[in-house]
Amino acid sequence: MARYFKNRSAAQGKPPGELTFIGRQKMEKVKIHLIQYNEQLIEETDVVSLAEIKEKRIAGTIAWLDIIGLHDTETIATVGVNYSIHPLTLEDIINTGQRPKVEEFEDYISVMVKMLRLESADNKIHGEQLAFVMGTDYLITFQERPGDVFDPVRERLRLMKGRVRRSGTDYLMYALLDTIVDNYLVLIERLGEQIEAIEPIIIDNPGPGILSQINEYRRELHFLRSSIRPGRDAIRDFSRLESDLITSTTTIFLRDLNDLGTHAVEAMDTYREILKDQLDSYSASSGNRLNEVMKFLTVFSAIFIPLTLMAGIYGTNFSYLPELYYKYSYFIFLGVLAVLAIIMILIFKRKKWL
């Protein structure tokens, strides 16, 4: 399936709000993980069914409900009913090609972003739909498959490090978004190291393989930009919301996160310019090599033109050619050719053509 665009044929012609999964199913069964915490306690539970959540809900705690697997529309619909999530929000959640965005509702805020990862199988960057629904005392995250970048946040929750255990859902949301943007920067840094590594090769040995690498890096950078730039815009919009769900203290952190997102975008633009310069350098280096070859061939041809002329004259079939029967004619002829070639080479060197 294409990385840039998802096949929407399954949703074609259906009314808005009707749940239709768009994308590729990446796991068999939906997994649900519940973390409840406050400043005094933390409890983690793997939930078998959504009905268990009400039974296990601890009063006075923040609930982080992590739902892994978007293909099960019945589960997503049940979550929507339990937490009064608008059908259009649910539709965006299960559309894995959804562009990053932020929407504010009366009881919750929804944020759609892309979580990126470098796949070892093909050494390419792939994106994953990641949706947040934040309420007063709960935060729901929707992921396509197991494995994410949130382990540092989970560790801080377990060890009671930082502000997260003392803060509300808005700060938890900030902490998760912060890890996503940090991961953006890590991927940009890895790609940037590879881009910078080919710079001396372009100058010393600009072979066809380098051109293939440059084009591959350009494709990866374009994919990064297609996810990170709109993600930065979504974070910026989130930081500017005037909502009762976001405290003034967290707003300061969100502004800093917005700056970090801008830094990621600027870093991509920098490497984009570097790739453009490298492509120009490759073209210039290839042109210089071609010019050197043409220069050598031109000089070689210029030296042999008069020699060919003389050889043509003395290679005619006339019987009464003056020097034809002279004993040393052949050796004299070779000497004249050698002297003429040496003279032309000296002239070319004096004019610095060689």
pLDDT in tens, 109-151: 999 999 998 887 788 888 899 999 999 999 999 999 998 999 9
DSSP class of 155 = H
Q: Identical fold at 11-285 and 290-350?
A: no
In this structure, are residues 111 and 254 in contact, taking their beta carbons and an 8 Å threshold?
A: no
Q: Which residues contact 267 (CB under 8 A, 6 or more apart)?
A: 185, 188, 192
Task: Give me 335's structure tokens.
Answer: 């000497």
Q: Kindly state the average pLDDT of the residues 64-86.
A: 93
Q: Residue 4: is its pLDDT beyond 80?
A: no
Q: What is the dihedral of CA 272, 274, 280, 286, to 10 degrees?
A: -120
Residue type, 278: Q
Q: Residue 317: is its pLDDT beyond 80?
A: no
Domain 290-350's class? mainly alpha
Q: Residue 1: is its pLDDT beyond 70?
A: no
pLDDT value at position 170? 95
271 pLDDT band, cuts 50/70/90, is very high
- pTM for the full predicted model: 0.80
In this structure, are residues 142 and 131 in contact, taking their beta carbons and an 8 Å threshold?
A: yes
What count of Cα atoms within 13 Å lies in the side-chain half-sphere of residue 126? 17
* In the chain, domain spans: 11-285, 290-350
Which letter, b or e, does each residue of 126-143 get, where b requires 16 or more Cβ atoms within 10 Å of its Cβ? Answer: ebbbbbbbbbeebbbbbb
Query: What CATH superfamily is the domain 11-285?
Result: CorA soluble domain-like (3.30.460.20)
Enumerate helices (H) and strands (E) in the chain, giving the number of each.
9, 7
Per residue in 180-238, pLDDT (tens digit) is: 999 999 999 999 999 988 888 877 777 777 888 888 999 999 999 999 999 999 999 99
Query: Across 1-5, 262-266, 277-281, 325-329, which has the greatest mean pLDDT?
Result: 262-266
